[in-house]
Structure formats: structure tokens, C-alpha cells
Amino acid sequence: MKDQGCGCLFIIIVFAILFFTNPNKWDHRDEVGSVLQEALSEDIDKLLDKYCAENPSEFCSSREDNSFLNEFIGNLSASMLKEQVETFVNDDVSRKNYYLFSLTTVNGDIVGVGILNMVFVSSDKLEEDFLNYILF
């Protein structure tokens, strides 16, 4: 009987810790913004090449034929990207709360998990959604 009480108390304590350390929507948005800024600062051109390889479109074919367009895209200022990221995060990133953990979603797609005051985001799907946002 005493062991059952200790087991129940342990489960209650674990649930309480998970509940009170579940990240809020701002934590999710901040992490998405950080992940996007980091990915975009690495090389926007690589992201566009990857996007065009997976999603051929008129934009992609004109990009291949036009060196000016390539140069323009390559020289997008950091402030413009930051502004685009902030707008994207505010418009398209949301959080689904399950009380013990939460999920980060972009346009209905799950891109991250929040638990114990931490948010873990998958950058691959996030980059694709962001490119769709800024290009179309």
C-alpha cells in the first residue's frame, strides 16, 4: 500500500513539473525565429537551390536564366530577412497545447515540440514553409 502511494505521488510530481514547464506560444515563436535566422544566415542561395530542385516553378526557371535575379536574391539584406521572418512567425506559427507538452505548427504542419521549458524545431520543414511564404 505504501509503495502505491509513493508511485502515485511520483506520477503527480512528474505531471506537475511537465505542466508548469510547458513552453508558451512566445517560446515557440522565438525558437522558430532563431532557427530560421540561423538557417538563412548560412546561405539563402542553398535554400533556394534546394527548394527549386524539389518544386520546379516559373520562378525557379527564371532564376536559373537570370544572373541579375541570382545576384539580387543573394544580396538580400539581413534586415529585410529579419522582417520577413518576424512577419512569418507572427502570421503562420502557432502552438497546440497539450498541457504536459506542446507542439509547434506552421500552417497545420508540426515542426516542433515543446517540453520542460525547451522547444525543439525541425529546420527542414520550417525552411520549406518559409520559402513558400516569401516566394508565393
pLDDT value at position 42? 64
Neighbouring C-beta atoms of residue 109, cutoff 10 Å: 13
pLDDT value at position 31? 94
* Sequence ranges of the domains in the chain: 22-135
Task: Answer yes or no: pTM beyond 0.75.
Answer: no
Nearest Cα to Cα of residue 37 among 84, 71, 103, 69: 84
Q: What is the pLDDT of residues 108-125, one digit of tens each?
A: 889 999 999 999 998 888
Q: What is the pLDDT of residues 7-44, one digit of tens each?
A: 899 999 999 999 999 999 999 999 999 988 887 766 66
pLDDT value at position 79? 67
Nearest Cα to Cα of residue 108 among 125, 85, 123: 125
List Cα–Cα distances, 33 to 68, 90, 124, in angstroms: 29, 10, 14
- Cα angle value 87/24/7 (rounded, 5°): 155
pLDDT value at position 105? 93
pLDDT value at position 39? 78
Nearest Cα to Cα of residue 31 among 118, 109, 90, 106: 118
Q: What is the mean pLDDT of residues 41-65?
A: 65
Helices and strands (H and E) in the chain: how many: 7, 4
